[in-house]
Structure 1
């Protein structure tokens, strides 16, 4: 099942959930109406009964609906950070020197770069000794990944990588948004229960109907919540199986994920979360917060089943043996990493940094295969994680450290777009000084020297490492950064492809993290708008990747033939890549099947000449990011499933 089919599956599942919860609400309303009818009495006038039942129905539906809407909006607007902080999460500093936290950040950055998703905010639940983790957020741009202190202490690097890959599966497959919808719907039924309890306390004489109505609301709310939790648990178990399978695909091995699950099964702390709000987010967690087994309300499949899918020969007796072994001497993830020869656990087990660097080394431009690209979106090819690790290993340590710093990250992003021409650079630095002061301009000058020898294929990955630190700046600072970036890019009167990719990716990440929706959200587009946007996109790609107009026209026609319903004649856009700004909203709103066709058309245009350059590959990944179809980075210019 490819990414686009999974997206269709998630949409179908969301529709089914709404239908099932609607049935639960109908059942709840029926119970309330029966109580109201009983209170009014059979002998009351028909008009009175109808009016009372209509009022009860409207009030009940409004209470559930508005409460659910309020909860969903509050969760969405808070992003993943609100969920993490509500469970007592502590943000991991971008420039942390703690070995465990550095290992966590390195693993998360590798998986993010490899999977083509923004690096999420990181949190640690310091007071939790069980092994657990979760991903939360409305979109990848405002996602947060949190792990427990127990996970950091007990898991080795491979196991931690398996857990993080599992959580990234939830990010890529849209499970986070589904989880927020589930939490909102359940909250509406919970409010009904709470209101019922309040009404049972109302006093007003023998004929006071409020306690009886309150009792009905309690019963109705309890029934609705019970049905809702059954639905939530069934959905959660299904998504956990998918996330386990995807994590194995990401990491190329089962030992890491299976090892983490075995430690949950074998340790006394298991995956327990002590925070009182754990039940609310139980369906988001890597492992069960309460350790429920064989229960219809269990949000996770039994551990033995999950382990057996990864290691078929595992027996319950094996897990019992681990419990006895670890009861006396619990495992230490750091000690296991040292035993495997990993200094600080910062490189994959058994794989020296030199080999990883070779995996991410620059390669010659590669041919494009539309089917291979479509198959790779939302997943990782066998060499993706290794390639991403190698790519990051090639980034000098001092640049990676600067990318994690509040000031250093901004200086790096700005330095990456500075011109090599002295006169243009002087104008650009004057703009930096105007926005941020002379000290900031000096830091950008220093950063320019540090990135001077950086290979082209490492420049955008370095910027992506810096984006999370930029997202942590205040909103006025973010606005000043974007304004300065636009000034720098426009100083020489031209906009190259990589500059556009950098500024567009950063702008969209900042916007979605702040507003929790794309910058084009809320607009409606017709079928004609979609066809025009697709034609514009393909024309931009043909113009950017082919110097000869005749070759560009042939590439455009070939791509147009892959997208149903589109037609047109090749006309090079006068605005160049900036013409894409009018296309994003219409293209992002397309159904999954149409997006798949569009990606095939894009790759056909880019690869029409039999090669893909670094700027073309970065533009391809940027387009996929704007369409919310994350494309893995398997190497600087190679594409998934192809030799570089």
Structure 2
């Protein structure tokens, strides 16, 4: 199943989630109405009274559930970090010197570069001794990955890599947005238990009698009965919520396990982590009172026993990875580890997995050309391989340590980011420096100028990864500060009327990620537009790419026609390249990003057909392709190692 098919599957799961939620609400409304009719003896009155009561109770119940779900969803607007902090998560600093935390961040950074997505926030759950992890957020730009203290201490590097790869599968597959919506809907369903508990207590404390009880003619106070009915309805909601979680989550866990193996090209890591969950006393069980709310997004079961498990049986998951696995092995491991629990760091030394950063093939030089086909690229979208992972490790290894330290440092990240956007043209750079000084003061402007010179000798293929490493240090800044930075990036991009493709790729992708980091839930309605409604924008994109990628107009038009043939066979779209080059693409991105998954798949194939019209791509063209895929939210891993010409 490729990325675009997984996107279609997520949409189907979202539809199923809505239907199950509606059915759960209907069931709750029926129970509450029956209780209200009985409590107020409505059947003894005229039919109009009964219908009126049912209408009021139904509207009130639906409103309470909907409002609670909306409030909870809005409370999660902070993205994945908000979820992690609610469970007691502590941010792992990008510049940490703790060996275990540094190993965790190395694995996360390598996996992010290999996956073609921004480096997520990293959290540790220090009070959780079990082995577990989760990824949360509205999208890759505001994602957070959290691991428990038990996972950090008990898993060796291969196993930790397998767990992180599993979580990244949820990031790139689009599962996280569904998970956050599910959290909001479940809270709405369960909210009635809170109301019911309050009404029951109020009725009991009130003596169980109504206002007329003082004269001896009043009836019993209906509050306790209504409260009990709401409690019952709430527990029906609990039952429905568990069914919804199980329905939405179980098959996705098999898919994420398989994706993790595809990413790392080895099963021992993720299988070893699952075996440790089964063999250690703490397992994957969390202590947090919010564990049930997030159970559907965890790596392992939140609770040891559950009627409606959100994950497949542990033995089945291991057997899917290792067909010869015998469940009796878990009992043997349990007896062995009862006296001497495993230590991840010690195993790293024994297995030769230390130092943390694995060796990998060198990243290609800027002049290298890579042979690639559209089908090959489509198969790689959101599907990093072991080659991509080791290439990502090599990228980090090739970036000088002082630059990595600046990217990870909260204070130095902003000057470095702005410095990467400064033009090589002295006149343009002076104009940009003046604009920075006016907006942020002379000190920051000078710091950015100095930071611009530091990576001067850096390969162009390393500049974009270096910029992406700054994002974890930027995301926790206040909203107004990010807004100001966003405006500054926009100013630097348009300092002159013409920028080359490399500058555009770097600045535009950073601008997009900053916008989504600032407004993580801004993409509520996506993947709905049909290609027939976006023909003009698609033709505009293909024309622009053909213009910047070919030396003369006839060659550019041939490349454009190849792209149109892949996009809309038989269509006669005009070749009309814009006068202002890549800057003209600003109007096309919102339209093209809203395409359905199937149409995005065709668009990416058409883009590859244009850029690789001669059958090969330069590293600069590959970075342009990665940028386009990033703006379309179709993350493309590094392409090195696909066949060098």
- TM-score of the two chains, using structure 2 as the length reference: 0.93
Alignment of 1:185-584 (within 5 A): 185-200=185-200, 201-202=202-203, 203=206, 204-205=209-210, 206-292=219-305, 295-343=306-354, 345-348=355-358, 353=359, 356-358=360-362, 364-518=368-522, 530-564=534-568, 567-584=572-589
Answer with 218-227 or 478-487: which moved more: 478-487
Whole-angstrom CA distance in 2 between matches of 1:520 and 1:261: 34
Structure 1 residue 488, shift from structure 2 partner? 3.8
| Partner of residue 148, structure 1 | 148
2:604 to 581, 596, 599: 599
| Partner of residue 66, structure 2 | 65
Structure 1 residue 526, shift from structure 2 partner? 8.2
Structure 1 residue 527, shift from structure 2 partner? 6.6
Contact 1:357–1:391, Cα closer than 8 Å, also in 2: no
Whole-angstrom CA distance in 1 between matches of 2:462 and 2:87: 37
Structure 1 residue 145, shift from structure 2 partner? 0.5
CA separation of 1:262 and 1:522: change in aligned 2, threshold 3 A: closer
Answer with 195-204 or 383-392: which moved more: 195-204
Whole-angstrom CA distance in 1 between matches of 2:529 and 2:289: 45
Whole-angstrom CA distance in 1 between matches of 2:32 and 2:480: 50
| Partner of residue 214, structure 2 | none
| Partner of residue 622, structure 1 | 627
CA separation of 1:489 and 1:71: change in aligned 2, threshold 3 A: closer
| Partner of residue 52, structure 1 | 53
Contact 1:136–1:143, Cα closer than 8 Å, also in 2: yes
- Name the SS for the 2:567 alignment partner: coil
Alignment of 1:12-91 (within 5 A): 12-39=12-39, 40-75=41-76, 77-91=77-91
Structure 1 residue 546, shift from structure 2 partner? 0.9
- Name the SS for the 1:277 alignment partner: coil
Contact 1:511–1:517, Cα closer than 8 Å, also in 2: no
Whole-angstrom CA distance in 2 between matches of 1:596 and 1:587: 11
CA separation of 1:304 and 1:525: change in aligned 2, threshold 3 A: closer
Whole-angstrom CA distance in 1 between matches of 2:415 and 2:600: 36
| Partner of residue 216, structure 2 | none
Whole-angstrom CA distance in 2 between matches of 1:562 and 1:302: 43
- Name the SS for the 1:96 alignment partner: coil
CA separation of 1:377 and 1:528: change in aligned 2, threshold 3 A: closer
| Partner of residue 632, structure 1 | 637
Structure 1 residue 43, shift from structure 2 partner? 2.8
Contact 2:121–2:472, Cα closer than 8 Å, also in 1: yes
Structural RMSD (CA): 2.3
**Count of matched residue pairs:** 630
Contact 1:361–1:390, Cα closer than 8 Å, also in 2: no
CA separation of 1:523 and 1:388: change in aligned 2, threshold 3 A: closer
Structure 1, unmatched stretches of 5+, are none
- Name the SS for the 2:554 alignment partner: helix
Structure 1 residue 558, shift from structure 2 partner? 1.5
Whole-angstrom CA distance in 2 between matches of 1:333 and 1:283: 26
Contact 1:521–1:585, Cα closer than 8 Å, also in 2: no
Contact 1:405–1:469, Cα closer than 8 Å, also in 2: yes
Structure 1 residue 412, shift from structure 2 partner? 2.1
Whole-angstrom CA distance in 2 between matches of 1:337 and 1:376: 30
Structure 1 residue 137, shift from structure 2 partner? 0.8
Whole-angstrom CA distance in 2 between matches of 1:56 and 1:2: 47
